[in-house]
């Protein structure tokens, strides 16, 4: 379980992430078999796919121990424990590597089963946290890939080959997700590639009241993320914003967010130092299911060591971004949908 490890002087807390639930092999195999019955492509008929997952839930094909665990997350203190790590879960095995030039199109051709997507949808339905998509991201796909693409290898997007600096997902978008759910699909342990997290509370504890007051002011600017702006929907210029949001969330993208005054810029330099001093690294393996509460933590992709450049190009995580409720976002959705953001 995520925990606090106190130093000798009790002044500094070090956060660690440990697995909170591990499927037995029998539980995993039984759930894998149930999820394998989802035959409709979520990339072509999303609503019909979700209906198939609902039927699996209705038929009680899910290990009760897992259902009971998921139910405990409703009362979780997201500030203290903003990451959940689940091990040995079901996923699609033996999927061939995708084309580095066009990995999304390649996935459509090569991936014939939808176990990971069903697992993501199943979890969202159990938690009551619907997944959403964006028209500018993979043509509105709800299920997105953290998978390198040659043309975007040097960007700060989920298609990057190497590091992605600390960020909150869609930090300055008009529809910001409350959760990010991830299923590990492929990772070569000779490549030390980590998803690193920092709790918001560990950040704010290192700023005084005057600094926090400035961070609450709209004296910062973050361009729309690299992946969002390549779509057909033109978003215009991103608004000025505070770094410290009303709910204590951290609206920030390292090396992209900039201060609009000298004082604001100086605070961002301190923020970067704090983030790197407080980070906790997680190596996501195949079958890992990871939950990130997007308003309570900030994360990064860190490439510490590359032992095989070719398998680095094949590292793969499938993710969704989810909200606690779609009601407050409906006016941003494409007409006739309850999941697709028009931007």
Binding-site residues from annotation for Fe cation: 167
Write 53-59 long-range contacts (CB < 8 A, 24+): 53/118, 53/121, 53/122, 53/125, 54/125, 56/118, 56/122, 57/122, 57/125, 57/126, 59/34
CB 91 within 8 A of CB 287: yes
Question: Rounded to a whole number, what is the distance in angstroms from the first to the last CA of the chain?
Answer: 37
User: Which residues fall within 8 angstroms of residue 332, CB to CB, at 6 or more apart?
Assistant: 174, 175, 341, 342, 343
Cα separations in angstroms, 218 against 83, 202, 205: 28, 22, 21
Tell me, what DSSP letter sits at residue 141? -
Helix (H) or strand (E) holding 108: helix 103-110
Closest to 109 in 3D by CA, of 96, 118, 120, 122? 96
Q: What does the block give as tokens for 240?
A: 């000025």
Q: Which residues are annotated as a binding site?
A: 167
Q: How far is CA 284 from the centre of its chain?
A: 12
Judged on CB neighbours under 10 Å (0-12, 13-18, 19+), 201 is: middle
């Amino acid at each position: 379980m995520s925990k606090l490890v106190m130093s000798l002087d009790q002044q500094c807390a070090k956060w660690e992430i440990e697995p909170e639930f591990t499927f037995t092999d029998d539980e995993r195999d039984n759930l894998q078999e149930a999820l394998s019955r989802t035959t409709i492509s979520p990339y072509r008929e999303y609503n019909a796919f979700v209906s198939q997952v609902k039927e699996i839930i209705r038929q009680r094909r899910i290990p009760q121990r897992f259902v009971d665990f998921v139910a405990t997350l409703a009362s979780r203190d997201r500030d203290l424990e903003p990451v959940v790590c689940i091990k040995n879960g079901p996923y699609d095995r033996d999927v061939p590597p995708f084309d580095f030039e066009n990995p999304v199109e390649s996935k459509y051709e090569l991936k014939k089963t939808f176990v990971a997507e069903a697992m993501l949808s199943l979890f969202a339905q159990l938690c009551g946290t619907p997944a959403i998509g964006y028209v500018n991201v993979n043509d509105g796909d709800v299920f997105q890939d953290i998978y390198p693409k040659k043309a975007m290898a040097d960007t700060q997007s989920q298609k990057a080959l190497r590091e992605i600096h600390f960020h909150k997902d869609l930090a300055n978008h008009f529809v910001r997700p409350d959760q990010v759910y991830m299923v590990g699909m492929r990772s070569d342990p000779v490549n030390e590639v980590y998803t690193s997290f920092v709790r918001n509370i560990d950040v704010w504890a290192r700023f005084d009241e005057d600094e926090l007051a400035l961070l609450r002011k709209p004296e910062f600017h973050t361009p729309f993320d690299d992946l969002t702006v390549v779509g057909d929907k033109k978003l215009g210029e991103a608004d000025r914003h505070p770094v410290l949001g009303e709910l204590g969330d951290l609206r920030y993208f390292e090396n992209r967010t900039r201060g609009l005054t000298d004082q604001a810029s100086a605070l961002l330099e301190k923020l970067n130092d704090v983030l790197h001093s407080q980070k906790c690294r997680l190596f996501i393996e195949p079958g890992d299911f990871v939950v990130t509460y997007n308003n309570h933590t900030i994360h990064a992709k860190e490439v510490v060591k590359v032992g095989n450049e070719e398998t680095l190009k094949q590292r793969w995580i499938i993710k969704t971004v989810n909200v606690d409720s779609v009601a407050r976002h409906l006016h941003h959705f494409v007409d006739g949908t309850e999941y697709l953001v028009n931007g």
